[in-house]
Amino acid sequence: MKVEVDWKGGKAFEAIADSGHKVMMDASPAVGGENRGSRPMELLLMGLGGCSSIDVTMMLQKSRQEVTDCKAVIEAERADAIPAVFTSIHVHFIVTGKGLSEKYVARAVQLSAEKYCSASIMLAKAVDITHDFEILEAD
């Protein structure tokens, strides 16, 4: 896996992945950024959310659960001092479907966190990550 990060002036950079997809990043306006893209630390959380959500939905589908939506709401705290690393991360899944089993959803969330989500497992080596979920019945 390889990415290239290209300076776009000011404090903005564009990342280009092997897949050809691009992401704009910029520093916070508080430190001179122009809000031209996501902050790098936001992208870490987005990656965590994407990785774990893919796992959860795939496992539920393999378990023949009728999932119609899955949202991961991620909240994180950061250290006040530099480096402003994450000190805690909480991932809350909102899984919507028809007749979803709480047992299957709980197991999918646990397996993603402990076995399958590379982003979650890597970040958990440096920060406390907690997970929970709620189930909504689809119309």
Selection from 61, 89, 93 nearest residue 76 by Cα: 89
Q: H/E/C letters for each residue in 23-50?
A: EEEECCHHHCCCCCCECHHHHHHHHHHH
Q: Which domain holds residue 32?
A: 1-38
pLDDT, residue 124, reads: 97
For 73, other C-beta atoms within 10 Å of its C-beta total 11
pLDDT, residue 15, reads: 97
pLDDT, residue 69, reads: 98
pLDDT, residue 42, reads: 97
Residues 124, 85, single domain; the answer is yes
pLDDT, residue 94, reads: 98
Residues 61, 128, single domain; the answer is yes
Which residues are within 8 A (CB) of 90 and not within 5 positions of it... i.e. 6 or more apart?
A: 74, 75, 76, 129, 130, 131, 132
pLDDT, residue 31, reads: 93
Residues 86, 32, single domain; the answer is no
Domain count, the chain: 2
Distance CA 60, CA 40 (A): 30
Residues 130, 83, single domain; the answer is yes
If the chain, 139 residues long, is cut into consecutive pieces of 10 residues, what is the mean pLDDT of each piece? 96 97 96 96 97 98 98 98 96 98 98 97 97 97
Q: CA-CA distances (angstroms) from residue 128 to 30, 58, 86, 87?
A: 27, 25, 9, 7
pLDDT, residue 7, reads: 97
Do 68 and 82 touch, CB atoms closer than 8 A?
A: no
